[in-house]
Structure 1
Amino acid sequence: MPTENPQDARRLEFERARRARAEEVQTSPTRVYELIRSMIRDGTVPQDGALGEADLVRHLGASRNAVRRALQMLADDGVVVRQRRAGTSVLHDIVAVRDGEVGPRAYEGAADEGRLRVSTLECRRIPVPPPVRRGLGTDATSVLLLEQVGFVGGSPLYLRVGYNVTDLSVEEFLRRIEANHVRYPPIAEVFESLFDVPYGSSSSVVEAVSCEERAAGLLGIPEGSPVLLRELMTRQTDGTPRELSFTHFRGDRVAIFGGDHSGPSVAGTAGFTDLDLPLT
């Protein structure tokens, strides 16, 4: 039986090792894009932080071509900026908005404490539109319409319109709204301060849509840009709906989070966890 040539054996072992390394390398730009975006969202890469291609290739176990294409995808999203000789850096962070919350957490001890500012554009009493009546299941003849723009770090983040079932006057409702804009407490506390009943639950639907002209102007983005449209219903403890709202979140800046409902309760949030509010 012929003896195996040592040179052939080494060549065969080299080929096996090369194929094994190739199988371990991430070559999908989409998957690399997802991983980098996740790193930006969780703060692993801070705003203004540099994204070096060589570091990403090594850290993600990805091919250089996949990393370059993924970074260009993020640049197309407006999340990073790429400059010749200066490299790639994060243009802005991706803000986490919990599914039951109106906006990012701006209250004491939260990740976005001190970054949120809300401007009220309109508050007036209107007859209940038929779709709102069906959604709220109310027999009220009128609701308070509230329109607001939320800013984080000085840049517009969301445009929100809410239809509120309340007998309060416009002036009193606005007074309560503005009182909450001083320190931006959690949603359960805001709800009780506005409606004089304990917060019960919320439910939502999120869709990706194109931004129309007026909303785009208020959000500082081109008309037709992708935005996340969230329809949110909030209820008191007996299940009675009190507000139906529609919020356009900038698609390049916001991630809407669900959550684990098993965490411990936090004081001041009506028994709900700080990690999430209950959804029905």
Structure 2
Amino acid sequence: MPTGDAQEARRAEFERARRARTEEVQTSPRRVYELIRSMIRRGTASPDTALGEAELVRHLGASRNAVRRALQMLADDGVVVRQRRAGTSVLHDIVAVHDGEVGPRAYEGAADEGRLRVSTLECRRISTPPVVQQGLGTDVVSVLLLEQVGFVGGAPLYLRVGYNVTDLTAEEFTTRIEENHVRYPPIAEVFESLFDVPYGGSSSVVEAVSCEERAAGLLGVPEGSPVLLRELTTRQTDGTPRELSFTHFRGDRVALLGGDHGPQRAVGSGGFADVDLPLQ
């Protein structure tokens, strides 16, 4: 029979092996939620894709309980739909909006080409509010206020208000905007067509806020729903601000992406290539 020391050594070895097996399995629903949502955003799991629990357990290295709870979290977000006997499937994609872009990249060759439609709700000249002057310059006495709703695949995606420094009339500015809405070119081209100067860049701040009543109605979400509010300042090449905008993005439909790092292959709405997982 093994001595007491030998038995203790075997128990210690068994415990180390048990802990190692446990550490290999992802048991946090939050972490599994992050991984699945990333798959959807990257286009690996596209709309109507079936998300089988067994496949997710295997490919994510997760426990079944963690996968089930993560899928319910995504269902609560409205990203997936869960049905008895039918299982879980992706309800809609998560649309990528890149640094400096007004909306998703909808120009020729981009991931969301042909999916974007923008409706202009209002365009009129107003006296520049002092808080807007802080962003655009104290010498800017009037701006064109522009309000738009962007739709992707027929569903509202964002509500945007912009304060534009231009001498154009509201009618002239609206005409130029509508010309850009025919094919939705890149932001640099849009900027130059609107302001007659080259695009110099932009800076932004993003916050998570609760959606107020009117915005909620336009975005098709319940009042108080979480949305992403982005304040964006767009400038010409000499650094002069030409627009200060505030955009409410649907929190369940949009991912705001930072700058590209090296060449990427655009796929799906996320704009990045990824390894496909067999989730049928």
Give the TM-score taking structure 1 as reference length: 0.89
Amino acid paired to 1:113: E
Q: For 1:29 and 1:175, how far apart are their aligned partners in 2?
A: 49
Q: Deviations over 1:42-82 (max 9, x none)?
A: 01101111111111000101001000110011111111111
| Structure 2 counterpart of 1:65 | 65
1:248 aligns with 2:254: no
Instruction: Give structure 1 stretches of 5+ with no counterpart.
Output: 265-273, 276-280
Q: For 2:84 and 2:24, how far apart are their aligned partners in 1?
A: 30
Q: For 2:3 and 2:151, how far apart are their aligned partners in 1?
A: 71
Cα 1:262/1:66, change in 2 over 3 Å: closer
| Structure 2 counterpart of 1:267 | none
Amino acid paired to 1:21: R
1:160 aligns with 2:160: yes
| Structure 1 counterpart of 2:92 | 92
- What is the SS of the residue equivalent to 1:51? coil
Q: Deviations over 1:11-30 (max 9, x none)?
A: 88666544321111000000
| Structure 1 counterpart of 2:238 | 238
- What is the SS of the residue equivalent to 2:227? strand
| Structure 1 counterpart of 2:127 | 127
Q: For 2:144 and 2:184, how far apart are their aligned partners in 1?
A: 21
| Structure 1 counterpart of 2:211 | 211
Amino acid paired to 1:73: M
Amino acid paired to 1:203: S
- What is the SS of the residue equivalent to 1:106? coil
Q: For 1:117 and 1:138, how far apart are their aligned partners in 2?
A: 34
| Structure 2 counterpart of 1:228 | 228
1:123 Cα shift? 0.4
| Structure 1 counterpart of 2:49 | 49
| Structure 2 counterpart of 1:257 | 257
Q: List 4+ stretches of structure 1 deviating above 4 A.
A: 2-5, 8-16, 261-264
Q: For 1:144 and 1:75, how far apart are their aligned partners in 2?
A: 40
1:207 Cα shift? 0.2
- Report how many aligned residue pairs link the two structures: 264
| Structure 1 counterpart of 2:177 | 177
Larger RCO: Structure 1 or Structure 2 (Cα < 8 Å, ≥ 6 residues apart)?
2
Give the TM-score taking structure 2 as reference length: 0.89
| Structure 2 counterpart of 1:269 | none
Q: For 1:11 and 1:116, how far apart are their aligned partners in 2?
A: 62
Instruction: Give structure 2 stretches of 5+ with no counterpart.
Output: 265-270, 273-280
1:261 Cα shift? 5.9
